[in-house]
Amino acid sequence: MSNTHADTVLYVRDTMLPQSEPPASTIGPAGWAKQNLFSGWLNTLLTVVSAAFVVFLLYRLLPWFISPTWGSDSLSSCRALFEEIGRDHEGACWGVIRDRWQQLLFGFYPAELYWRPILSLILLMVALAPVLFVGKVPAKMLIFSVIYPFMLPWLLWGGTVWMPIAVIAGFGVGYLVFKLVAKVGPGGLAAIVATLATVLWWLFLTAPVAYGLASVLPLALEPVASRQFGGFMLSVTIGVVAIACSLPIGIVLALGRRSDLPLVKWLCVGFIEFIRGVPLITLLFVASVLLNIFLPPGTNFDIILRVMIMTTLFASAYMAEVIRGGLAALPKGQYEGADSLGLDYWQAQRLIIMPQALKISIPGIVSTFIGVFKDTTLVSIIGLLDPLGLANAIRADTDWNGIYWELFLFIGAVFFIFCFSMSRYSMYLERKLQTGHR
């Protein structure tokens, strides 16, 4: 083969080119706009049309929105104000928010006790911090996260401090029973007996023990009745409980559904499919009306508690399916890797399978959370005063008869803040868990 070709392509660069700026049309705001808004006639058209639409909306809405009615104390005084300043169109009557914001937040909770829900909310943040920001917050704070669920009802409903302590003691009782039975019998039996003992303790001994101790050492907060609960406090309480409980229950249901034991499997499938096949409203009606028929007369089974249970069950069924999706996405090799090292079922689930399955399911899990939180507004249908229920109640007042948008906007804005933070958090978590993997 001749090398004439190689001769003709011989080339040596003798001056090196300096680094130069990219063309001005591709950088800076102008470059961005050109690339993203005006790249081609279709995009340009869409940009112009959308911009026109936004301008139109603002043009119609802003005048209504900007309205000097913060001080008014009734709808009629708003109207009088408009007349006075000669506005030819109606505006928003923001006075209702100033007048009733406390009610929208706390319902009919006694005003002098507002510190209790506020403290609960602050402590909620403290309890969530070590869970949400693993590694950034000292892990020791998890102890508080474990205690918080028992503190919350006490802070909100009040009563003797011995009640939550007696409830916590139930776990101690369960643990002791487990240790005792495990010494003589198999672990499975011990677990069943211990669970039974704990439940029995809660059902029959917690109240007498708590009241007994209370009579010796009366440490108590002023009790607040459930019917005084309302507003966002109610939504957040139900939402947080349902969210916090649905994740572990969902995990158990998802594992159960994939179990090899037919009884466990069919129980879980039955539960999940039943709950998913029934609207939440139906479950809430069951909670508010039907349960009373089945419960022995005279039992005082708190309505909010009943609603919490129903919402939790509802959320758990959906959660189970979301997590099952994550489990199904894991390659079989992960199970085999864990098995081949001698990890037992629960170790494998906890250390290998769940961390990965949950990571895959984060978007679905958070969607379920957001859905559950928004669904708490349905409790207004059974007469609980969540923000929407309160909006009706406020309208029933002659002062504010006929006011809609201002309340809905306010409620919507608060819900948006909660839901948007959840969705941002999920994005943060996904990014954080992404590092280093594939």
Site of interaction with other proteins (CB under 8 A): 331, 333-334, 336-344, 347, 351-352, 355-356, 359, 433, 436-438
- Distance of closest approach, residue 380 Cβ to other proteins, in angstroms: 42
Nearer to other proteins, 338 or 407 (CB): 338
Nearer Cβ to other proteins (23/342): 342
Nearer to other proteins, 165 or 343 (CB): 343
Contacts for 364 with CB less than 8 Å, ≥ 6 apart:
322, 325, 326
CB closer to other proteins, 320 vs 352: 352
CB of 362 to other proteins, least distance (A): 13
Helix/strand/coil for 49: helix
Give 137's strand partners.
134
DSSP string, 126-175: HHHHHHHTBTTB-GGGHHHHHHHHHHHHHHHH-EETHHHHHHHHHHHHHH
What's the chain's Rg over C-alpha atoms? 30
Structure tokens at 171: 């776990």
Least Å distance, CB 183 to other proteins, is 18
Which of 253/360 has CB closer to other proteins? 360
Q: With contact defined as beta carbons under 8 Å apart, do 224 and 109 qualify?
A: yes
Rounded to a whole number of angstroms, the minimum distance from the CB of residue 129 to other proteins is 22
User: From the CB of 252, what's the least distance to other proteins, in Å?
Assistant: 20
In the complex, minimum distance from the CB of residue 337 to other proteins, in angstroms, rounded to a whole number: 3
The nearer residue to other proteins, 259 or 356, going by C-beta atoms, is 356
Contact indicator for 372, 247 with CB cutoff of 8 Å: no
* 3-class DSSP state of 221: strand
Strand duo 159-160 + 220-221: pairing: antiparallel
Report d(CA 396, CA 113) in Å as an integer. 25
Q: Least Å distance between CB 342 and other proteins?
A: 3
Q: How many CA atoms lie within 13 A of 80 on its CB side?
A: 8
Question: Given CA atoms 130, 325, 319, 104 in this order, what sign does their dihedral have?
Answer: positive
Nearer to other proteins, 110 or 355 (CB): 355
